[in-house]
Structures are given as C-alpha cells and as structure tokens.
Amino acid sequence: MHNKTIAELIQGLRNKEFTSRELTQHYLDRIERLDSNYNSFITVTKDSALAQADAADQRLAAGEAPDLCGIPIAHKDIFCTDGVRTSCGSKMLENFVPPYNATVVENYLAQGAVMLGKTNMDEFAMGSSNETSYFGAVKNPWNTDCVPGGSSGGSAACVAAQLAPAATATDTGGSIRQPAALCGLTGLKPTYGRVSRWGMIAFASSLDQAGPMTRTAEDAAIMLNAMASFDSKDSTCIEHDVPDYTAELNNSLDGLTIGVPAEYFGEGLNPAIATAVNAAIETYKKLGATIKEITLPHTDLSVPAYYVIAPAECSANLSRFDGVRYGHRCEDPKDLNDLYCRSRAEGFGDEVKRRILVGAYALSSGYYDAYYSKAQKVRRLIKQDFVDAFDPAKAGVDIILGPTTPDPAFAFGAKSADPVAMYLEDIYTIATNLAGLPAMSLPCGLIESENGELPVGLQLIGNYFDEARLLNVAHQFQQVTDFHQHTPPGIA
Ligand code: GLN
C-alpha cells in the first residue's frame, strides 16, 4: 500500500481494497519499524490516528466523503495541533501543547484526513540541512550519511521513505523545495497569502508560506485543494477563490512559454545538475513549450537581502519566547532579567541565536537605514525582475524554469561549520519568497555523486496565484518521465 500515490489511495478506499484503519495501521507499523533509521518524526500520534481513521471509515461508508477522507498524512511540527505537542524543533517548545489547531491542520481535519504525527525540522525552520533540530538530525533515505535538506527535512524524509503518503511543510526561503529536491519529491510553495499562516509558528512572517510535500504533482494538487483557504484570522491571507487544482492537470503545453534565467546556470551550479535540468528543458520542448532565455538581474542580491530581512523578522517574532508566558523557563531565576536571559539562552540553539542577534542588529537605531531599509529596497527590485519576466509587454513568459539547488544532498557536517556555505543552498529558491511567488520542485534526474546516486530537483516558478498552471506543467513532465517514481535504495 505504501508505494501508492494519494490519488491511488483515494481510489483504493472507495473501491474497498482497504479501509482507512488498515491503511493507517500500515503506515504506523512502518514508522515504528523504520523511522529509527531516519528520525523523521518528533511525535507519532498513534491512538488519535486510529480514532480518526475509524471516523473516516464511517464517513466513507456513508458516501460523499471528501477526497482526503481517510488518507494518512504527517504535519511539520511547526503547525499547532490541539492537544498534541508542537515543538518547532526547539528545546524552547519541547513541552508546548497548543490548545488549538492551525488553520492548515483544521482544513485537513475537516476533510477527514488522518494525522500520523508531527515531523522533525530545523529549529524554528532555520536551516537547510535539518542539523539544527533539538531532536537530532534527520537522515536522507537515499543515503543516511547525507542530510535530507531543511528546514522541512522530516516531512521530506518520511514521504521519501514511504512512512506517509504526503506531508505538510513550510517554505520561508526554500524549505519545501530544497528538501523535496534532495529527497526526490515534489514540493510546492504556494503564492504568499494563498494558505493561512494562522497557527503556524512564525519565523519570518512576510516570507513564510505552507505547502505540500508529495510524490507527484497530482498529489500536490489534491493536497493544495484542502490546504488553501481564505482565513480572516490571518490578515495577510488573500481572499481569492480556491479553484480545483486537479482540473487543469491534463492541459496541453502547446503554446506555453518557459523562461530560463541565465543567472540560474552560473558559477556554483553542479555540472551534473545543469545536465539534468537541460535534459528537462528538452523534454518540455517535446511537450510543445517554447523556451526563452531571460534575465533576472538582481538574483545575486537575493541571499544577502534575505539574510537581513528574515533575521530581522525572526528577532521580532521570537521575542515572545521570554520564559514568562509559555515555552522553556529556566530554574530559579534571580530576577526578571535573569529569567529572560537564561530562559532564552537555554531554550534556543546556536543558529536561532545567530539569527536573533543579526536581526536585532539590523533593526537597531543607526543601522536600520543601512541594512533593513536597504534590504527592503533590494527586495522590491528582485520582485520587479519577476514582474518583468511575466509581463506580456516585456519577456512575457508563463513559467520560469531552473535548478532547485546548486548541489545534491551533502554529507552531515559538510556545511554546518560555514553558515554562508549553508545559506547558499537556497540561492535559487529565496528570490521567489522575497517576491511572494508560487514555485515548486520536482524530480528531474538521478546523478552519480561522491555520496552515491542522488536525486536532482527541477524548479518551476509561476506568476501570482498561477498554482494551477504550475501543477499542470509539472504533471505533464511526470506523464512522460519516471524520475518521480524512483525510490531510495531499499524502499520498494
Ligand atoms: N534555509 C533557509 C533559512 O535557513 C530557509 C529556511 C526556510 O525556508 N524555512 O532561513
């Protein structure tokens, strides 16, 4: 059962090949048996999963159940779950049990989806390797000596190892697409404001966006159908109709114009990845698309701008963890100052502290204009590059294509001593967060590397609210290639 896609599982439940309880039990057994190899879950919610499965079986028997009714999924441990510990990968929230569900979690519950548990992640979603988790690193199912990517590494590893058919994830600078690329999955970051951020623990509020991690584009469409909604509780959530994202998957690509930015193929890109991405371009030509070279001239400024804006927002967001209201509190504080200082010193890991320090500095009086306000101006230029690329009066492309990451999965420790090397992992993904655009990663090859045979991710970037087209373009690629069907060694 575990090698089926969500689309196939939906059919299986309706054809009574298995019940949701059997399916859920099957995944729970796999998690229990295999997850010690990957460390992809922080919490497994066995009892509630089986209870939800029984309820879903009743709904299915009564007919007219929503698509995801009875389908087991995992949630990144950044989404608040009523009565279930939500750690955000941090000691700060090691014992935090929220009294409410994030809207994303609520939306899946309303469909009758079954929650298997909460997945491991970089602490407060800061990282590209999952090595910053307080709960230990996650291992890549393709090679357990390698990182799965981050910050949604647990969501990626559990889907790649077929411990869950799909998982939720979040992307602030690449955290859905980069782990999807490194684990051979399909990951979608929707337009900023497409999915509610309510109940999703904030890292950088103007960049954070939730999305699905799946094996196919079709599954991503099914997952997004449930995930996307207007939510008045999130003031940045946009009131925009939610189409049926599966409706346009089979559209022909005849007449589609794909832009290929020169800046995404420069220095630093692993040649084997360039070869795989170029082969994907050839596939798209055969599918009827026209390829157009474009330029996104401010690409090289996206990592520096992000590493001012994201830390600035995180320093403000994480000020709420003060040892007073909730989260870790130090023992026997001498006074209020000691309570703040020691609770935060003990509760946060090194990368989170580094970001808070950088962010507080960039926002401080005297430096605000030099750093923060400058970075915001650069952000506007980066956004304008994309607006021009999609503008019919200018470059006029429908989709932008390039690599997701400069390298395949790397060994543990390979980049952890050098924050800048780690930050450059997201060189191709960060600009779309700064611009608020939707983007996805899908598998486009397997390459020989020093760490064995590893998957490569192809990135597709769409115009605002053009997720349906993005999914269509990804789905058509998956109709004529089988990279998304490859599974890590030992996973059948
Ligand atoms: N790797 C980037 C960072 O560390 C992006 C993380 C994310 O998208 N959550 O900030």
pLDDT in tens, the chain (492 residues): 999 999 999 999 999 999 999 999 999 999 999 999 999 999 999 999 999 999 999 999 999 899 999 999 999 999 999 999 999 999 999 999 999 999 999 999 999 999 999 999 999 999 999 999 999 999 999 999 999 999 999 999 999 999 999 999 999 999 999 999 999 999 999 999 999 999 999 999 999 999 999 999 999 999 999 999 999 999 999 999 999 999 999 999 999 999 999 999 998 999 999 999 999 999 999 999 999 999 999 999 999 999 999 999 999 999 999 999 999 999 999 999 999 999 999 999 999 999 999 999 999 999 999 999 999 999 999 999 999 999 999 999 999 999 999 999 999 999 988 888 888 889 999 999 999 999 999 999 999 999 999 999 999 999 999 999 999 999 999 999 999 999 999 897
173 CA to centre of ligand 1 in angstroms: 5
Q: Kindly state if the Cβ of 129 falls inside 6 Å of ligand 1.
A: no
pLDDT, position 421: 85
Q: Kindly state if the Cβ of 172 falls inside 6 Å of ligand 1.
A: yes
- Active site (annotated) includes residue 292: no
**Of 224, 173, 167, 155, which Cα lies nearest the Cα of 196?**
224
387 CA to centre of ligand 1 in angstroms: 23
411 CA to centre of ligand 1 in angstroms: 18
Helix (H, G, I), strand (E, B) or coil at 62: helix
- Active site (annotated) includes residue 175: yes
Give ∠ CA 364-369-375 in degrees, rounded to 5: 100
Closest ligand 1 atom to residue 203 Cα is 9
pLDDT, position 492: 72
323: which 2 tokens? 């040892």
- Active site (annotated) includes residue 76: yes
315 CA to centre of ligand 1 in angstroms: 15
pLDDT, position 396: 97
Q: Are 226 and 197 in contact (CB under 8 A)?
A: no
Q: Which residues contact 402 (CB under 8 A, 6 or more apart)?
A: 260, 261, 264, 265, 277, 428, 459, 461
Q: Which residues contact 310 (CB under 8 A, 6 or more apart)?
A: 172, 173, 203, 204, 207, 355, 359
Q: Which CATH architecture has domain 1-492?
A: Alpha-Beta Complex (3.90)
Domain residue extents for the chain: 1-492
pLDDT, position 64: 85
Helices (H), 15-83: 20-34, 46-62
pLDDT, position 26: 98
Q: Kindly state if the Cβ of 459 falls inside 6 Å of ligand 1.
A: no
Alpha carbons 191 and 198: distance in angstroms, whole number: 16
